[in-house]
A = this chain, B = another copy of it.
């Protein structure tokens, strides 16, 4: 008799953005004429830049010609893309990694989710609260969470590190044992960053206790301040404790085109549950070659074009565009009387809900102003009382949203 994985039943409610989509659809059904402005999900609205479009056309033509057609690609990505990533994202910033430490995949969400297959089931998982829900949900589905405790508004075996006003949205180091810690900076949803000194504390902690840090730097392109690290590998000691996950989604408008990569250093070595000494690089390589078949050649050619000088210059303009939206939201919401965080080195603005109830604020903003944001409570118990707005709408809609709200 087939028995299904019971850990899925420990998940609380639906995946956040699916829930928001449902509520939005219900509102639209009741208010068919409402002109909704979407500032909820972090989804790009600017088109692919010309350098990427041109490259993808060339790749499509190659795929249609028997002389240049490509079948299965290399398991870990084409070298032309891995080398482009290496050069621009690492070597140009003075960070030394090897090209074979880069694994190209079809999305940071997938990598963030799949990386947990490398952890033993008993690993204690630590997450910042509030947090991108995928870190938590994928560990619940893999049996690492224990049961949800409604009183604690959290899972028994998950260690939550609150990032709240009182600590300037910078979590303290874990005070109890944590084996694997997810960090996302620039942060989704709070829009905060870590300085090199703050990040170094986490790296030193991980090396001291043998923990592994999963570092999600999907939003690094949005950093404006020169002293904020773009990569955890800018920090001494990170190669023995960290895996970095990056995305083309927000840097190149690839939310619907799908490309990302992870860096798993060769120096990252631990024991496994059978007491073998194992390289996490080799485990990830094995996972990728066994359970994945690479990213579309056409997509990889487009991604590589985003790293060319021409493409990069065009994309800098796109990122600047969104960051101007972030400024408009930040200043608009402040003028409307709200307390506002983030939006200076990240495309997310984190707004204090006046009465402390974030789903109520979500409904008020939806019904009163026809604007969709994301309720902070959807990101964890410590997100209650906040509301996330994203800078990815059009300029027109961003300005219109602020006018509607009174900013």
Contacts and interface: CB of A to CB of B under 8 A. Distances in A.
Interface of A: 1-11, 14-15, 18, 41, 43-50, 52-53, 56-57, 60-61, 63-66, 69-73, 75, 106-107, 109-110, 113-114, 117-123, 134, 137-138, 141, 179-180, 209-212, 253, 255-258, 270-276, 278, 280, 283, 286-287, 289-299
B274 A72 contact: no
How many copies of this chain are found per oligomer? 2
A120 B212 contact: no
Contacts of A109: 291-293
B212 A2 contact: yes
Given A43-B71, A60-B53, A134-B291, A4 B273 contact: yes
A47 B61 CA distance: 10
Given A1-B179, A49-B64, A257-B298, 19 more contacts: A3-B119, A3-B179, A4-B270, A6-B273, A6-B274, A8-B118, A8-B286, A47-B65, A56-B63, A71-B256, A73-B256, A109-B292, A110-B293, A117-B141, A137-B290, A138-B290, A257-B297, A258-B295, A296-B298
Nearest to A56: B60
Contacts of A71: 43-45, 253, 255-256
A149 B114 CA distance: 28
B291 A5 contact: no
B291 A110 contact: yes
A44 B71 CA distance: 6
20 contacts: A2-B211, A3-B179, A4-B118, A4-B278, A6-B275, A15-B286, A18-B289, A48-B64, A49-B64, A53-B60, A56-B63, A106-B106, A107-B292, A109-B291, A109-B293, A110-B291, A113-B290, A113-B291, A113-B292, A134-B290
A258 B296 contact: yes
B5 A117 contact: yes
Given A64-B53, A66-B47, A71-B44, A2 B299 contact: no
A255 B118 contact: no
Contact of A2 (B180, B274, B290, B293): B180
B123 A2 contact: yes
Nearest to A65: B47
A327 to B, nearest CB: 21
Contacts of A46: 66, 69
Q: Which 7 A-B pairs have the closest CB atoms?
A: A6-B273, A6-B274, A53-B64, A113-B291, A1-B210, A43-B71, A4-B272
A63 B119 contact: no
A141 B179 CA distance: 20
